[in-house]
């Protein structure tokens, strides 16, 4: 249950982006969350709602979570595949020497800002 | 008129944590402080392991322990009776340690150094601590035999981010259906380079190998 801490870091990150562009209103943010990132999207969303109530910047903001399927690569035959679990063997040669290429990420992809006239460029 | 602008960020959400952790790591490289982050579920025996470890290293190394807990000063008190300085980090509800907590504690403690070895005992939890790099040189995950040998796959991230896997409470093996070999194989599937040791803080089994491993890892990083 570290979703609250993650959203706390996210809010700071979004704050920095908004400040850099002279915006006081965030409309939308998009996260990219790997299915093996160890976080629960519903809990992220709940934590975000809690922050929205106390952060004026986020008052009207919506958060979209794009979940990303994991991708593994076989160390023996180089086949790439979507695993069910961390222990999935290669579907082509059945080797268990496989490596996760992505699926653990926790990224802020995009922020949609409202910028009043006179806002800074950048 | 307000303008709508879409900003492409593409940054790790925990970037600030990792950035500070990297700065700590660089400082510890300079002070030649070898840092170990110890993770396990509650009650697996992290503090007991440290109580058994510190006396075996005390003559050779100057050590510091940072104890992470949600509440109470108890673990730090246990460590201090070993004659090793210990700072308690009480997270006040947070289920893991973050690098800013380590940074704060380290700034309070570092003037009492120099330290050759720093042990960070994370909050008892096999899920959340695994997402937070604390700047350590060695990440150790511990599982006690009563918890069952099927746990590595249930907590993949903790095992994937560790280099050493300690199976603790080996003195209880006689009474349990725990297969150290099965647990070791599961951990290897998650992290092909992980080294598994069977230890008991109570009987002392495996402690010499654990101490050896710590000394070797430190020497590999800094020379002897």
- CB A86 to CB B189 under 8 A? yes
Is residue B42's pLDDT more than 60?
yes
Is residue A93's pLDDT more than 60?
yes
Number of domains chain B contains? 1
Q: Is residue B3 part of a domain?
A: no
pLDDT one-digit tens code per residue, B78-118: 999 999 999 999 998 889 999 999 999 999 999 999 999 99
Percent of chain B with pLDDT over 90: 92
Gap from A111 CA to chain B (nearest CA, Å): 5
Using an 8 Å CB-CB cutoff, list chain B residues near A106: 12-14, 131
Q: Is residue B5 part of a domain?
A: no
| Partner residue opposite A109 with nearest CB, options B9, B14, B132 | B9
Is residue A121's pLDDT more than 60?
no
- CB B7 to CB A39 under 8 A? no
Using an 8 Å CB-CB cutoff, list chain A residues near B130: 38
Assign domain A3-69+102-114 to its CATH architecture.
2-Layer Sandwich (3.30)
- CB B16 to CB A12 under 8 A? yes
Using an 8 Å CB-CB cutoff, list chain A residues near B15: 9, 13
Residues B47 and B75: beta-carbon distance below 8 Å? yes
Average pLDDT, rounded, for chain B: 95
Q: Is residue B7 part of a domain?
A: no
Interface predicted TM-score (ipTM): 0.85
- CB B128 to CB A23 under 8 A? no
For position B216, which CATH number holds?
A: 3.40.50.300
Q: Is residue B8 part of a domain?
A: no
- CB B9 to CB A106 under 8 A? no
CA distances from B19 to A16, A24, A26, A31 (A): 15, 26, 25, 20
Helices B15-30 and B99-109 meet at what angle, rounded to 10? 30
The pLDDT-based confidence of A118 (bands split at 50, 70, 90) is: low
Each domain of chain A, given as residue ranges in start order, spans: 3-69+102-114
Is residue B151's pLDDT more than 90?
yes
Q: Is residue B181 part of a domain?
A: yes
**Which residue on chain A is closest to B187 by alpha carbon?**
A87
**Which residue on chain A is closest to B191 by alpha carbon?**
A99
Q: Is residue B72 part of a domain?
A: yes
Q: Is residue B6 part of a domain?
A: no
């Amino acid at each position: 249950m570290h979703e609250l801490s993650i959203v706390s870091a996210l809010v700071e990150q979004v704050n920095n982006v908004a400040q850099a562009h002279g915006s006081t209103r965030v409309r939308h943010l998009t996260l990219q969350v790997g299915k093996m990132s160890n976080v629960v999207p519903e809990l992220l969303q709940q934590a975000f709602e809690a922050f929205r109530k106390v952060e004026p910047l986020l008052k009207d903001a919506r958060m979209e979570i794009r979940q990303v399927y994991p991708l593994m690569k076989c160390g023996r035959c180089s086949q790439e595949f979507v695993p069910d679990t961390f222990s999935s063997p290669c579907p082509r040669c059945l080797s268990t020497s496989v490596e996760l290429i992505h699926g653990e990420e926790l990224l802020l992809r995009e922020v949609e800002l409202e910028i009043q006239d006179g806002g800074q460029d950048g | 008129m307000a303008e709508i602008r879409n900003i492409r960020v593409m940054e790790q959400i925990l970037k600030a944590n990792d950035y500070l952790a990297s700065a700590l790591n660089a400082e510890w490289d300079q002070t030649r402080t070898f840092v170990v982050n110890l993770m396990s579920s509650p009650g697996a025996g992290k503090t007991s392991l440290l109580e058994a470890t510190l006396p075996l290293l005390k003559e050779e190394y100057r050590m510091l322990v940072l104890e992470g807990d949600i509440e109470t000063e108890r673990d730090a008190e246990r460590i201090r009776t070993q004659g090793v300085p210990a700072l308690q980090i009480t997270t006040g509800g947070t289920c893991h340690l973050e690098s800013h907590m380590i940074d704060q504690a380290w700034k309070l403690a570092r003037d009492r150094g120099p330290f050759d070895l720093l042990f960070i005992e994370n909050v008892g939890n096999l899920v959340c601590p695994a997402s937070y790099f604390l700047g350590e040189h060695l990440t150790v995950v511990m599982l006690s035999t009563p918890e069952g040998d099927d746990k590595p796959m249930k907590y993949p991230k903790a095992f994937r981010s560790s280099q050493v896997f300690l199976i603790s409470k080996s003195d209880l093996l006689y009474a349990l259906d725990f297969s150290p070999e099965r647990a070791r194989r599961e951990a290897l599937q998650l992290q092909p380079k992980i080294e598994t040791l069977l230890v008991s803080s109570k009987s002392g089994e495996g402690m010499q190998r654990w101490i050896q491993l710590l000394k070797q890892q430190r020497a590999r990083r800094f020379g002897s």
